[in-house]
Amino acid sequence: MMKHPPHEHPASALDFDHPPADPMDAFRRWFDAAHEATTVPNPNAMSVATVDPDGRPSVRVVLCRGFDARGIAFYTNRESRKGDALRVHPRACANFHWDQLDRQIRFEGTVTHTSEAESDAYWASRPRENRVNACASQQSRPIATRAALEAAVKELDERFAGQEIPRPAHWGGFRIAPERVEFWQGHKHRLHDRLVYLRQDDGRYVRTRLCP
């Protein structure tokens, strides 16, 4: 039986010459394949780039916690550095890189808050320790020592002993709407496949193959 190279997965293969009309259909196929591949350590991880209030770019790795036709969502402290950036410049780029599969997908678009109900639901699904830590940490703000951080965690954990940890008003989700979505499939000798979807005013996408 002929074996496929590590980056080729027939069930999730994308026909770059005749791609589906909706990029989220292709994304779901690749996202599922990344989860099924035992060699991919953290398939939800994506790098999210923003522009700070002073115009400087910044990027960090976060976890995708859901997606649908509206876009891809992640959750964080909205008073963090990325939250401050998105408040002033509500646009972002998210990049999934599954090196073991030789695949990348890049999303670019406007950013909005997830609903309060969505933020509540995801908050409730987190382990208690994660919720305590998220409440105790003033994300991206200076702190003197590790001991000071652990003391803040201990104080909050004791204060809510035997109780639910309420979701802070400043903690919640962001959703990146897919205005531009690019798929990249690696091949030998750098002759890769690239495909870009550009969302039009009527909600449909124009699909264009790009040179590698």
Q: Please give the Cα distance from 152 to 148 (Å, whole number).
A: 6
**Set 106, 146, 190, 199: catalytic member:** 190
Residue 129: name the closest of 154, 94, 95 by CA: 154
Establish whether 126 is a catalytic residue.
Answer: no
Which helix (H) or strand (E) segment is 197 a member of? strand 193-199
Query: What would the two tokens of residue 87 be?
Result: 């408040």
Q: Please give the Cα distance from 194 to 130 (Å, whole number).
A: 38
Rounded to 5°, the CA angle 15-18-22 comes to 90
Torsions phi, psi for 160 (to 5 deg)? -105, 25
Q: Please give the Cα distance from 50 to 90 (Å, whole number).
A: 8
Q: Please give the Cα distance from 195 to 106 (Å, whole number).
A: 10
Q: Please give the Cα distance from 103 to 46 (Å, whole number).
A: 13
Q: Please give the Cα distance from 183 to 34 (Å, whole number).
A: 14
Q: Tell me the catalytic residues.
A: 190
